[in-house]
Homo-oligomer: A and B are copies of this chain.
């Protein structure tokens, strides 16, 4: 039987792409207060589109409180399938900052097609993937006049800055989020053409370590040799956080980890992973690093890690300035694996940093945001419907992987709403997430829409 919704999705590919480009032109950088109006504009345009395709009860839900400026949630639903389950479709419309700008081959907010890919900030993370949901819903509503199950859509604009607003909303158990399962498309396929479901995510703590060493910036000639330098204190602290083999030296950090079971580990070993290709072509490094005794996939998916993202302070311009800065900072995050929790991990990091800090300086360790790790049980009817849908669209069996990244909302859905989440993502390993030249492979955009459409049809019959 020809599927009219599928035909509609195929026939409208060019328009879907143009719509996505319009969305990508909005620089909805959630971390930058200057872009707050753009973030809102993105939310409004999505609300208008949800309305247009026939979703109901469409509205923005504000997340600001007296003490914080939040970005709005976008809500919509269609609830006219009384005998079918209810899906909660989640995505985020905010994006990472585009810097360093000079490394982009085309402007980050001017979507550009090259070699079957669409290049733009947010192309894959997550505007492009989120937009697949909307276009699957449009195809079903336009072709069939109805959806095969009940659907609630919730879109957030703070995923890249910790998702505080939606976390509070989910924790309040609102009736708007009553559902049987959640669908999130913010992950990637393990290899091109290989259908993939993500069933585990790392959590994270994002922190700032600020060292203050003097009351004012000092001249390195007049004071060098006597005044403490905050960068030496930070270098000492950072160099003391991991040993040369990559093991984290924070006491207790490995105490609570739940190791993957032997079956999951065996499945990872069967994945088509070429470490040398990963090193040379994806990372582009002379050598990989990390904890000895663990495979690359274990290190990324099942081990806690610690990274420094930037060290603001002092003079960072072109040329020379001979300053001993009064203060400097390290932006540092940790990824957490199942068994760990954010509050305990932050306390352990903070205590250890204070303990190893040189006595001449003052050190403050601040938590910027956090999210818990999570693991999805794979034996449920929605995961089965997802693998069936992917087999039909891609012609191959689905692999189960974890992600080293963090999507805190998935843990919140499980903890507060007892929802299993299907993480069906269509990014590719070389999509440059969070980096210059982010892209989305257009075939994955189109087949992703078909996969989601088919999944919603099959999930409508699951019970």
- The stretch of A18-26, A357-365, A450-458 that contacts the partner chain: A357-365
Taken together as a complex, chains A and B put the C-alpha atoms of A162 and B227 apart, in Å, by 23
- The stretch of A263-271, A322-330, A342-350 that contacts the partner chain: A322-330
Residue A256 is within 8 A (CB to CB) of chain B in the complex? no
Q: Is the CB of B403 within 8 A of A285?
A: no
Contacts of A227 in B (CB 8 A): 283, 285, 288-289
Given A96-B321, A216-B436, A322-B204: A226 in contact with B283 (beta carbons within 8 A): yes
Q: Which residues of A line the B interface, CB within 8 A? A: 31-33, 96-97, 99-100, 103, 160-162, 188, 202, 204, 206, 213-229, 231-232, 234-236, 238-240, 242, 244, 246, 278, 282-291, 296, 299-300, 303, 305-326, 328, 330-331, 333, 335, 358-362, 368-369, 403-406, 429, 432-437
Taken together as a complex, chains A and B put the C-alpha atoms of A217 and B431 apart, in Å, by 11
Q: Is the CB of A220 within 8 A of B335?
A: yes
Q: List 6 A-B contacts (CB under 8 A).
A: A96-B323, A160-B321, A220-B434, A222-B433, A231-B310, A321-B434
Q: Is the CB of A315 within 8 A of B309?
A: yes
Taken together as a complex, chains A and B put the C-alpha atoms of A223 and B288 apart, in Å, by 10
Given A234-B235, A434-B217: A331 in contact with B308 (beta carbons within 8 A): no
Q: Is the CB of A320 within 8 A of B161?
A: yes
Q: Is the CB of B321 within 8 A of A97?
A: yes
Smallest CB separation, A232 vs chain B (Å): 7
Q: Is the CB of A335 within 8 A of B436?
A: no
Closest to A324 in B: B307
Contacts of A33 in B (CB 8 A): 318
Smallest CB separation, A281 vs chain B (Å): 9
Smallest CB separation, A185 vs chain B (Å): 16
Q: Is the CB of B321 within 8 A of A291?
A: no
Q: Is the CB of B435 within 8 A of A320?
A: no
Taken together as a complex, chains A and B put the C-alpha atoms of A357 and B306 apart, in Å, by 20
Smallest CB separation, A220 vs chain B (Å): 4
Q: List 17 extra interface pairs beyond A31-B319, A219-B405, CB under 8 A.
A: A97-B315, A97-B317, A103-B217, A161-B320, A202-B221, A214-B284, A221-B404, A222-B433, A224-B307, A226-B289, A228-B289, A231-B330, A232-B238, A232-B239, A234-B235, A310-B323, A316-B331
Given A32-B318, A314-B331, A335-B224: A435 in contact with B286 (beta carbons within 8 A): no
Q: Is the CB of A323 within 8 A of B435?
A: yes
Given A299-B225, A368-B320: A214 in contact with B285 (beta carbons within 8 A): yes
Closest to A291 in B: B225
Smallest CB separation, A42 vs chain B (Å): 17
Contacts of A318 in B (CB 8 A): 31-33
Taken together as a complex, chains A and B put the C-alpha atoms of A383 and B322 apart, in Å, by 29
Contacts of A224 in B (CB 8 A): 300, 305-307, 335, 404
Q: Which 10 A-B pairs have the closest CB atoms?
A: A215-B284, A221-B405, A31-B319, A310-B314, A235-B238, A231-B308, A312-B316, A225-B299, A225-B305, A217-B435
Q: Is the CB of A300 within 8 A of B435?
A: no
Contacts of A229 in B (CB 8 A): 289, 307-308
Q: Which of B226, B239, B289 contacts A239 (CB 8 A)?
A: B239
Q: Which of B31, B162, B300, B361 contacts A222 (CB 8 A)?
A: B300
Closest to A360 in B: B287
Contacts of A31 in B (CB 8 A): 317-321
Taken together as a complex, chains A and B put the C-alpha atoms of A55 and B231 apart, in Å, by 48
Q: Is the CB of B225 within 8 A of A436?
A: no
Closest to A31 in B: B319
Taken together as a complex, chains A and B put the C-alpha atoms of A291 and B224 apart, in Å, by 11
Q: Is the CB of A283 within 8 A of B223?
A: yes
Taken together as a complex, chains A and B put the C-alpha atoms of A119 and B445 apart, in Å, by 59
